[in-house]
Amino acid sequence: MRPKQRILVAGGCGFLGSHLCERLLAEGQEVLCVDNFFTGSHQNVEHLLGDKHFELLRHDITFPLHVQVDQIYNLACPASPIHYQRDPVQTTKTSVLGAINVLGLAKRLNIKVLQASTSEVYGDPKIHPQREEYWGNVNPIGSRSCYDEGKRCAETLFFDYRRQHSLSIKVARIFNTYGPRTHPQDGRVVSSFIVRALLGEEIVIFGDGQQTRSFCYVDDLVESFLRFMSTPDEVTGPLNLGNPEEFTILDLAKKVVGLIGSKSKIVHLPPLEDDPRQRRPDIGRAQALLGWSPQVSLEDGLQKTIRYFEALLRGDS
C-alpha cells in the first residue's frame, strides 16, 4: 500500500479521470477531483461522492488553482475530435494555459506532476510503429491542430520546467483507450460503433476502413499511470502507453457487430481531414521501465464496454 497522499486529478470527471480517481481511492489515497464539466460528467463520479476521501471541485484549469496537494495528474482536455473541435481556441488554452497552471502549482509545492499527452503528437506518422524518439508529422494549421499542437506545446512546457526548475515530471503519450464511461456521442470509434450496433443503426466508417488503431482497455492504462508515477525522478518520459496490438477500423466494426449480434450495416463516408492512416505504439520503453504490459484483450474489453452501454441505453447506468 502506498503512503496516503492528497492527489489532484485535473479532468477527473472525464472518462479516464474518473477511472483514475476510483483506482486512487481504492489504493487508500485522498483525491481532489477538478473539472469544469465541458466534457466531464457528474455521473462518472457520483458513486464516489459518499467517500470521505474524495472531494469534487468545479474549476477550469486555464485559471490558476491554489490548493494543497502531494501529486498532480493533469488529464484536463477534451480528447475526441467532436469535442475538441467544438471550441478549438479553448482546447488550445486548456492544453497550454492548463499546463502552465499545473506546472506552476507543482513548482510552488515541489511535487510530482504527470501530463496526459497523446499519440496525436505523432500526427499522421511516417514511421511505424511509433517510438518516443519520433518527432511526428503534424499539420500545424488543420482542424485537428488545436489538440495535436496544444499537446505538443504542453510537452515542451513540461520539459522546460524540468530543465529550468528541476521539477519532477512524467509525460505519458496515451494511445487509443476505451472502456465504460466513454461518452456515447464522442465520435470515437469504439463507443460510436457499440452504440450504433446496439441500436441497429448504420455504422459509419470514414474512408476505406483500412486505417489502423491500437486499443487499450482503461484498467490497463490506469495501472500504467500509477506505475509511472512511482518511478524515480529521472524517469520523465515521454512514455508511450497503449496496447501494441493493431487492428483496422473495418475489423473493429465487424468485431463489434459480431459480439453484439447486431444487424447494423457498415457504410463508408469520405475520409476526415488529417486522420492518421496508422497508429500503433512501440511500448518497449514502458515495458522495461514500468514492468507493464496490457493484460486485457480487445474482445474481453469490448465485452465489458458493451455491457456498460447496454445498461446505459436501458437507463440502468
**Grid coordinates of 199:** 441500436
| 261 within a domain of the structure (yes/no) | no
Catalytic residues: 147
Tell me how many domains the chain contains: 1
Who wins on pLDDT, 18 or 82? 18
Predicted pLDDT of residue 316? 67
* pLDDT above 90 coverage of the chain, percent: 81
CA-CA-CA-CA torsion sign (167, 170, 173, 178):
negative
* pLDDT above 70 coverage of the chain, percent: 98
| 258 within a domain of the structure (yes/no) | no
| 306 within a domain of the structure (yes/no) | no
Q: What would the mean pLDDT of 58-73 be, rounded to a whole number?
A: 97
Which CATH number covers residue 148? 3.40.50.720
Give the model confidence (pLDDT) of 240-299 as tens digits.
Answer: 999 999 999 999 999 999 999 999 999 999 987 777 777 889 999 999 999 999 999 999
Buried/exposed 276-315: b ≥16 CB within 10 Å, e otherwise: bebbbbbbebbeeebebebebebeebbeebbebbeebeee
Predicted pLDDT of residue 2? 65
| 204 within a domain of the structure (yes/no) | no
Task: Find all residues with CB under 8 Å of 160, minimum gap 6, and list them.
Answer: none
Range of the domain at 84: 6-178+217-244+280-295
